[in-house]
Amino acid sequence: MFYDNSILIQLKKKFKKKTLRIEGIVKKSEKGFGFLETDSKNSYFIPPKKIKKVMHGDKIIAKIGFSKNREIVIPEKLIKSFLQVFIGRLQKINQQFFIVPNYIFLKEYIPCTFLIDQNSEFKSGDWFIAKLTKHKLNHDSFHANLIKFIAKKEDPFISWWITLSKYNLKKKEPKVDVKNISFFDSEKRLDLTNLSFITIDNSSTKDIDDALFIKKLGNNFKLIVAISDTTSFIHSKSKLDIIAAKRAFTNYLPGFNIPMLPRILSEDLCSLKPNQKRPVLACKMIISKTGKIQKNSEFFLAWIKSKEKLSYQNVSDWLEKKNSWIPSTKNIQKQLKLLKKLCISRIEWRKKYALIFPERLEYKFHLSSNGEVLKISNEKRRIAHKIVEECMISANITAANFLSKKIGFGLYNNHSGFDISDAKQISLLLKKNNIFITSKEILTLKGFRSLYKILKKNKYKYLNNRIRKFQSFSEFSLIPNPHYALGLKRYATWTSPIRKYGDIINHRFLKSIILGCQPEIINQNTIKKISDQKRKHRLSEKEIVELLYIQYFSKNNFKNKIFQSEIIDVLRGGIRAKLLDTGANVFIPNSFIHNIRSELELNLEDGLIYVKKKILHQISDIIQVKIIDIKKDTKSIIAKVIQN
SS3 367: strand
* Exposure class string for 179-218: b at 16+ Cβ within 10 A, else e: eebeeeeeeebeebeebbbbbbbeeebbbbbbbbbbeeee
Sequence-ordered strand ranges (E) for 229-276: 251-253, 256-258
Q: Give the dihedral sign, CA 241/246/250/255.
A: negative
Q: What is the DSSP code (8-state) at residue 394?
A: H
| Torsion angles phi and psi, residue 373, rounded to 5 | -80, 115
Distance, in Å, from the CA atom of 502 to the CA atom of 412, rounded to the nearest integer, reads 9
Q: What is the DSSP code (8-state) at residue 359?
A: P
CA atoms within 13 A on the CB side of 150: 30
- Crossing angle of helices 330-353 and 383-406, in 10° steps, is 60
Active site residue 312: yes
What letter represents residue 572's amino acid?
Answer: R
Sequence-ordered strand ranges (E) for 503-635: 562-570, 574-579, 585-589, 600-603, 608-611, 614-618, 622-631
Count Cβ atoms below 10 Å from residue 259 Cβ, excluding itself: 23
- Burial class of residue 173 (count of CB atoms within 10 Å of its CB; 0-12, 13-18, 19+): buried
Distance, in Å, from the CA atom of 252 to the CA atom of 25, rounded to the nearest integer, reads 37
Active site residue 209: yes
Check: CB of residue 111 under 8 Å from CB of residue 96.
yes
Sequence-ordered strand ranges (E) for 219-323: 220-228, 251-253, 256-258, 277-287, 298-305, 308-311
**Annotated catalytic residue: which of 189, 499, 508, 576?**
499
**Annotated catalytic residue: which of 44, 312, 363, 549?**
312
DSSP for 112-131 reads EEE-SS-GGG--TT-EEEEE
**Annotated catalytic residue: which of 210, 317, 422, 503?**
210
Active site residue 210: yes
Closest CA to 285 of 293, 277, 275, 274: 293
**Annotated catalytic residue: which of 126, 209, 422, 503?**
209
**Annotated catalytic residue: which of 207, 317, 422, 503?**
207
The Cα diameter of the chain in Å comes to: 114
**Annotated catalytic residue: which of 58, 126, 201, 503?**
201
The catalytic residue positions are: 201, 207, 209-210, 312, 499
